[in-house]
Amino acid sequence: MITHRPSSELILGYAAGSLAEPAALVVAAHAALCPETAAEIRRLEGLGGSLLGTLDPASLRADALERTLAMLDQDAAAAPDIAAVTAETRALLPSPVWPYVKGDLRHLEWRRRGPQIETAALIGDGKAQRAFLLRVKGGHAVPRHTHRGTELTLVLQGAFCDAANCFAPGDIQVADPTIDHQPVAQRGKDCICLVALEAPIWFTGPIGRLANHFVKL
């Protein structure tokens, strides 16, 4: 059962189209697993649509229709052929993530970040705002850290806990610079999460503090 949902502010930002792509991807992926969030997004988008309907047509740019159609074309180009999405991909990833792996988990490039931690970039490798998959071996921890922006973490497989809460598949954790935590993957299955970061995290443990100079996560 999903017990940790995004804040109303985040859902509103998503419905209004104002979130950066990494954060929007995590909210969309969560909504694909959480009927309650999906219903709230539909309600807000409906409200937005009825507001648009009251706008004076003259306030739209003359090329608005062409621009919208061009954007739709781009989306169609990015989305993989549904029939080509592999069973492994469907089993692990919610549908909004499929285009980012071209429908096949074999397109992921896993990089080792520590003895028990791997990441695979989805958006913006090397940039400040990023989305990636995080895989932590069951029973192991992500080094203690705080945040220099918002960190959104959606659990896809396994589970993790920090000192405050536990998160299971479909749950989303929203962390920010006020939170210093050490997420620990539950024993058993690897914990796989979809993560969006606004800025690299900042390690705060005794060894991690040194690692800040060498490792960016």
Question: Of the two residues 33 and 202, which places its CB atom closer to Zn ion in the complex?
Answer: 202
H/E stretch holding 38: helix 35-53
Report which of 62, 3, 10, 16 is spatially closest to residue 176, judged by C-alpha positions: 10
Question: Of the two residues 24 and 175, which places its CB atom closer to Zn ion in the complex?
Answer: 175
Supply the minimum distance, in Å, between the C-beta of residue 201 and Zn ion: 6
**111 Cβ contact list (under 8 Å, min separation 6):** 118, 119, 120, 121
Question: Of the two residues 50 and 178, which places its CB atom closer to Zn ion in the complex?
Answer: 178
- Which burial class, exposed, middle or buried, applies to 78 when counting CB atoms under 10 A from its CB (0-12, 13-18, 19+)? exposed
175 counts as binding Zn ion under rule CB under 5 A? yes
Q: Which residues of 35-69 are buried (b: 16+ CB within 10 A; e: fewer)?
A: eebeebbeebeeeeeeeeeeeeeeeeeeeeeeeee
* Type of residue at 216: K
Supply the minimum distance, in Å, between the C-beta of residue 142 and Zn ion: 7
Total site size for Zn ion, rule CB under 5 A: 2
Supply the minimum distance, in Å, between the C-beta of residue 13 and Zn ion: 20
- Under rule CB under 5 A, which residues in 127-156 are in contact with Zn ion? 151
93 counts as binding Zn ion under rule CB under 5 A? no
Supply the minimum distance, in Å, between the C-beta of residue 169 and Zn ion: 18
* Type of residue at 151: E
191 counts as binding Zn ion under rule CB under 5 A? no
Supply the minimum distance, in Å, between the C-beta of residue 91 and Zn ion: 26
Tell me the residue number closest to Zn ion, measured at CB.
Answer: 175
First to last CA, the chain: 29
Supply the minimum distance, in Å, between the C-beta of residue 149 and Zn ion: 11
Asked whether the CA dihedral 88, 90, 91, 95 is positive or negative, the reply is positive
Question: Of the two residues 4 and 85, which places its CB atom closer to Zn ion in the complex?
Answer: 4
Binding site for Zn ion (CB under 5 A): 151, 175
